[in-house]
A and B are shown apart, each in its own frame.
Chain A
Amino acid sequence: MADILKPGQGLLYMKVGMHAQEGLEAIIERKTREIEEAGHALWGYGGSTCHPQTMVQPFAKGYERRGSRIYLCMEPMESSHFADPLRADEFSVDGLKWEEIPEAVNVLGSRYALVIKDLRKEEFELPLENTRVALGNSMGKSGSRYISGRVDKACLEIAEKDPSVPERTVHIGLVADIVEPYAVYVRNRRG
């Protein structure tokens, strides 16, 4: 946890809850099993704030080149998500070359997925004022101003603490390592 909150560290913040009509506890259990069986899991999501190719991949590669990594930090919340639990059967790193998703890995009701390992329950407060959007059209914006309304996830960097700014924290309850190829497109071809 201390590493995650170190200035300069990168993280992908995401609110999580029910997804494709499946409760969070059931998702955690299923993903943990997938990591044991396949060595990794795909954590499905949507929206362009963390687009696989234009946001997550370059963000994660930048840290990898510096010998570091980014973490997925999730804030559990009560939510409903009525997307159909359709299983994606193919994934692609670049949107051009598609590969079969292994049988052991199930990503449901999503367009994109993060590639994760070491999914764990870890509790701490993330001070959003001390974060900045790391790249893209909102680059440089404070995380506390960015995360609002329909924006519920972001690629963030921990900045130096500014004592003059009142603290707004979010409670992180779930963490995972994001591993190569970091984020992928997924699709359903079989129907």
Chain B
Amino acid sequence: MAEPKEIDLRLAINAISDVVQNRPRPLREFDQIYMKTGDMVLQSELVARWSDGKRLAFIGDGDAISICVAYLHKRDIINYGPSEIVVYDFDERICGAVTRFADMERLSNVRAELYNCLDAFPGPTNYDCFYTNPPWGASNEGESVKVFMQRGMEAVGYSGEGMVVIADDLDLEWTKRVLAKVQSYSIDSGFYVQKMMSRLHSYHLDDAPDLRSCNLVIRAVAGHEWTGNSVAISDPARLANFYGRENPPRVKYVREMKRLDYGKAHEDEYAFEMLEEN
């Protein structure tokens, strides 16, 4: 990794602001909860440093950390970052936002693929690392986190690294149970917990404004074998409370309503009242 240069904070914040401006509005029924902008700046720098020179798969990315990482690097605000980024998301609006932004800013190492994590992972499975900020599993003891992690582990062929962003709150018992289950799952899957960075991020979350999340960094134990066979997930026990209590997944893809005036105010939001003519 190159000697890290000093970061111009104003440039970094304004770059993240460009990305935030481009994001679709979150759908709360799918636990799309957006990270606050200041935390996105710090998280993007951290992810860029962690994945420097590597091929990075995002298993879902409503926050648009993928684009932030690539954009900070492209703008030379940071002088490190992954060599390739692929975003897998079931929301066509998110994939579209990534694709459009990458095209507009000539981020040639970023692309997005429409993919529902309940389906078998489409590959390739030779990424160096994966990143996921999944539904946090308050109502399913972390099962939704494990589903996203499983796809991430498959993306790296069970031989790379992963960064998992999940809830971390000392006052909430469910977050402790989920953290314990997720760490057990990592170990059972041939990974170990390399690092846990506690209570780093806050969110635009009106029902839990103080809830924070942590980065859980996991790394594969050498020599773990994987058959390379990714299969669809349909076990009702894993899916019953996927998006909250009694809310199993019902939607395969969120489809984007295509618009010619993308990024502009919707025409049905306003009407002009004209100046009177003399």
Contacts and interface: CB of A to CB of B under 8 A. Distances in A.
A80 B205 CA distance: 23
B149 interface: no
A116 to B, nearest CB: 21
A135 interface: yes
Given A49-B206, A137-B211, A151-B207, 16 more contacts: A48-B207, A54-B28, A54-B243, A55-B244, A57-B246, A58-B247, A61-B246, A95-B29, A135-B139, A136-B138, A136-B208, A137-B167, A139-B138, A140-B172, A141-B171, A150-B209
A163 interface: no
Contacts of B247: 53-54, 58
B174 interface: yes
A154 to B, nearest CB: 8
Given A53-B247, A54-B28, A58-B246, A136 B172 contact: no
15 contacts: A47-B206, A48-B205, A51-B207, A54-B28, A54-B243, A57-B246, A58-B246, A136-B138, A137-B207, A138-B172, A138-B211, A139-B139, A140-B172, A140-B174, A151-B207
B134 to A, nearest CB: 13
A51 B172 contact: no
Nearest to B210: A138
Interface residues of B, number: 22
A47 B28 CA distance: 10
B75 interface: no
A67 interface: no
Interface of A: 47-49, 51, 53-55, 57-59, 61-62, 94-95, 135-141, 145, 149-151
A137 B206 contact: no
A137 B246 contact: no
Contacts of A54: 28-29, 243-245, 247
A59 B244 CA distance: 11
Chief secondary structure at chain B's binding surface: loop
Interface in B198-231: 205-209, 211
A26 B221 CA distance: 66
Interface in B238-254: 243-247, 250
Nearest to B139: A135
B206 A151 contact: yes
A49 B209 CA distance: 10
B206 A135 contact: no
A130 B49 CA distance: 46
Interface of B: 28-29, 136, 138-139, 167, 171-174, 205-209, 211, 243-247, 250
Contacts of A151: 206-207, 209
A139 B138 CA distance: 8
Chief secondary structure at chain A's binding surface: loop
Given A54-B247, A57-B246, A58-B247, A138 B29 contact: no
A90 B53 CA distance: 52
A95 B28 CA distance: 12
Given A54-B29, A58-B245, A139-B138, A149 B172 contact: no
B74 to A, nearest CB: 34
- When A and B form their complex, which 7 residue pairs have the shortest distance between CB atoms, in order from nearest? A58-B246, A54-B244, A49-B207, A58-B245, A137-B208, A138-B208, A48-B207
B126 to A, nearest CB: 35
A140 B244 contact: no
B174 A47 contact: no
Given A57-B246, A140-B172, A48 B206 contact: yes
Contacts of B211: 137-138
Contact of A58 (B28, B244, B250): B244
A47 B205 CA distance: 10
